[in-house]
Amino acid sequence: MSGIGFSELVLLAVIALLVVGPRRLPEIARTAGQMTRTVRGAWQNVKSEFQAELDNEHNRRIMEAAAKTRKELETPFRLDEEPKGDRKDGE
């Protein structure tokens, strides 16, 4: 379903012409167009705000992971322990 086709659009125009009349039809069509633009603009604003929040959350998680990694790398290594498996005495 890709939306309204040409035949459906013509049928809606004929019905609107019969219901509203030829004098008020341009005014109602103009108002409907303005409302459509307003709704589309509001929807785009909602989508962009939602995407910005998702981006902020993603960036926050990356920053937390980077801080955790930095903290792990800054932890001093213990020099009094030998790495396992590298003993020289044959054990």
For 76, left (φ over 0), alpha (ψ -120 to 50), or beta?
beta
Residue 1 has pLDDT above 50, yes or no: no
Predicted TM-score (pTM) of the model is 0.50
- What is d(CA 9, CA 15) in angstroms, rounded to the nearest whole number? 10
- DSSP letter for 76, please: P
**31, two tokens:** 């108002």
Helix (H) or strand (E) run with residue 15 in it: helix 6-20
Please state, rounded to an integer, the average pLDDT across all residues of the chain. 84
Residue 37 has pLDDT above 80, yes or no: yes
The three-class DSSP label of residue 53 is: helix
